Amino acid sequence: MFQKTVLDNSIRIITEKNPSRTVSVGIWVDVGSRDEQEANNGCAHFVEHMLFKGTARRSATRIAQELDMLGGMSNAFTSSDTTCFYATVLDDKLYQLMDLLADLFLNSVFDQKEVEREREVVLQEISMVEDTPDDRVHEIFTSQIWGGHPLGHTVLGRREVVAAMDSGMLLDYVERFYTPDKIVIAAAGNLDHGEFCRFWQKALAEFTRSSHNRPQREKPQSLPSVRKVYKKPLEQLHMVLGSYGLPMVSAERYHLYLLNIMLGGNMSSRLFQEVRERHGLAYSVYSYVSSFIDSGYLGIYLGMDPGSANKALELIAREIASLRQGHISKEELANAKDYAKAGVFLAAENMESRMTRIARNELSFGRYIDFDEVVAGFDKVGLDDIVGMAEYVFAKPLFAAAIGPIRTADVAWQPLDMRL
């Protein structure tokens, strides 16, 4: 059973009660790297780290000990548009967990010595991504497709900016962006909504920051395609291709999700079967959808021998053309729908997934979306809808970013021009 309460300061409390011995709680803030400029890129992610580094009541060591003693699982993450702190515990540990999460969220001190120590951890995280080409190539691709827009920023931040961050800079970011209207506290599992709300009403009674000095998000503009290989002495060539897609709130999002499944979303997809299974050109090949409240893209990743690049691009272009021309069977569409619906219901067995789902729906749609609505959304999609979506996404030349031991001029990019 889903319930929602809006506190006097506009913080939203949402819960979904389920017959489980566990409960998952998350504090979600509608802020991420897209809310940064070049001068403070990485602040949202650094703040996420610092909320675990000490409060007036708890040291960083004590916080780690309590999280371990609660059992279950705890973590945090920052994305382009969201920051989340969450944990899943047995239901009898719920109030201990809430006390801890409230203390971290409201009372972290951002001690300068802790900032200096954690800065080194973040810089190592940046280095790890730079040394992991299948991660780094996605950062390069997003910087190309979004250009100078903040969505093109890396979540971790630029090394030179992170190196200069201090306690004052991070606290200023919290003051400007961690405002009540951006906060959702979500929980799923065995809990009582009324008791849950009473705790947070008391804990957050004096949390009243103004949002008047927070810059508003701007919608990114579509750009001409860019294709580039960043030469690096690797065994494989790592490549991401893609084109603009849909905002996550689009009424046609179900069309895009199913198109993605058929193109490269699972092992029976066209790209996996054609590029990997039939021709053996790549160990890893898949497509994915990345969507935000106002924009999005569909991407294709593949890791391959550099000498296979041109043939792989031909095969990818051929499969995309086939979808645009309507060469889709009723069985293929039915299988994609079954796969999509199975994923929805299997995720529902996990309390963390349920908590995440209701929080994302609240942040994106401002309402609860039940499973029947999702299933109906997939069931309504017809063959013409998939063809229309393929034509919409792939009517323009594709962007491409790659890292590997060849030059940009060594790749025959023409298949990505999307000429039928």
Per residue in 203-252, pLDDT (tens digit) is 999 898 887 778 889 999 999 999 999 999 999 999 999 999 999 999 99
Amino acid type, 227: R
**DSSP-derived pairing of the beta strands 12-17 and 183-189:** parallel
CA distances to 128, 228, 241, 404 from 233, in Å? 17, 16, 21, 6
- For 60-88, what is the mean pLDDT? 94
Identify the CA nearest to 386 among candidates 328, 300, 318. 328
pLDDT in tens, 249-262: 999 999 999 999 99
DSSP letters, 197-232, are HHHHHHHTTT-----TTSPPP-PPPP----EEEEE-
pLDDT for the residue numbered 212: 78
Amino acid type, 208: T
Q: Which of 16, 36, 38, 48 is catalytic?
A: 48
Amino acid type, 394: F
pLDDT for the residue numbered 213: 79
In this model, does residue 420 exceed pLDDT 90?
Answer: no
pLDDT for the residue numbered 101: 97
Residue 285 DSSP SS3 = strand
- For 96-105, what is the mean pLDDT? 97
What totals of helices (H) and strands (E) does the chain contain, helices first? 15, 11
Distance in angstroms (rounded) separating the CA atoms of residues 417 and 420:
9
- For 107-122, what is the mean pLDDT? 97
Which residues, at least 6 apart from 104, have a Cβ–Cβ distance to it below 8 Å?
51, 52, 55, 63, 85
pLDDT for the residue numbered 214: 81
Task: Tell the burial category of 132 from Cβ atoms under 10 Å away from its Cβ (0-12, 13-18, 19+).
Answer: exposed
Question: Do residues 188 and 88 touch, judged by C-beta distance below 8 A?
Answer: no
pLDDT for the residue numbered 72: 81
**CATH 3.30.830.10 residue ranges for the chain:** 2-203, 227-417
Q: What is the pTM of this model?
A: 0.95
pLDDT in tens, 118-163: 999 999 999 999 999 999 999 999 999 999 999 999 999 999 999 9
Q: In what side-by-side order are the strands of the sheet with 183-189?
A: 2-6, 12-17, 183-189, 22-29, 83-90, 73-78
For residue 313, name the pLDDT band (cuts at 50, 70, 90): very high
CA distances to 9, 41, 76, 207 from 170, in Å? 23, 11, 17, 18
Looking at the domain that runs over 227-417, which CATH code has it been given?
Answer: 3.30.830.10
For residue 7, name the pLDDT band (cuts at 50, 70, 90): very high
Q: Class of the 2-203 domain?
A: alpha beta
Is 16 annotated in the active site?
A: no
pLDDT, the chain, mean: 96
pLDDT for the residue numbered 232: 96
Residue 120 in tokens: 């080194």
pLDDT for the residue numbered 73: 87
Any idea which residue has 């199913």 for tokens? 258
